[in-house]
Amino acid sequence: MRAAAFSIAGLLVLSVAPAQAELTKSFQLSATIANGCSVAMTGTGAWGDISLGSVSGVTSGSVSANLLSGGNAGMQISCTPGMSVQVSADNGNQPLGGVRQLVHSTNSTSKVPYQLYANNSATPWTTQTITLSFPAGTSLQSLPVKATATLAAPMRAGDYSDTVHVTLSW
């Protein structure tokens, strides 16, 4: 007996009407620019550093130096154009009678008083606020800050330091 295989092929025809797809459409975009600021930082994450250098322990008088931030003089502040910001500073980590003090790294009784001067003012910058305006077209300003320490010989040899906290508000 023989087996036979049959194959049936069918043809299906489907008729579809032409598509009526939209070929042009629009959508909306929006963005909100918020007021804000940023401050350039040093490699240590600070907004700047002031180094009064090395002086002899028998030196009397004053030494001064400017704040440097990222190789530039002063705090480098970038803000949204058209806004104003207030910059304030505290009296450091160990003020004495409202005067900032550099304190010896291993002997906290050895101190050197100093003052900060900001924005080229002859008046010491204590806790008063400095206002900076960023008119249209301006987004970067440098706020010059200078420190002057008063040396009274004799002084203990070693490293002296302080940390001042600066606040920007708007």
**Domain annotation covers residue 136:** yes
**Number of domains the chain contains:** 1
What is the reported pLDDT for 149?
97
**Domain annotation covers residue 52:** yes
How much is the average pLDDT of 130-154?
A: 94
What is the reported pLDDT for 105?
96
**Domain annotation covers residue 165:** no
pTM of the model: 0.79
**Domain annotation covers residue 6:** no
Here the CATH number for the domain that contains residue 119 is 2.60.40
Task: Label residue 43 by pLDDT band (50, 70, 90).
Answer: confident
What is the reported pLDDT for 1?
44
**Domain annotation covers residue 72:** yes
> Percentages helix, strand, coil for the chain, rounded to the nearest 5?
0, 35, 65
Kindly give the pairing relationship between strand 68-69 and strand 72-73. Answer: antiparallel
Domain range for 126 is: 37-153
**Domain annotation covers residue 3:** no
How much is the average pLDDT of 26-50?
A: 91
What is the distance between the alpha carbons of residues 116 and 138, in angstroms, rounded to a whole number?
A: 26
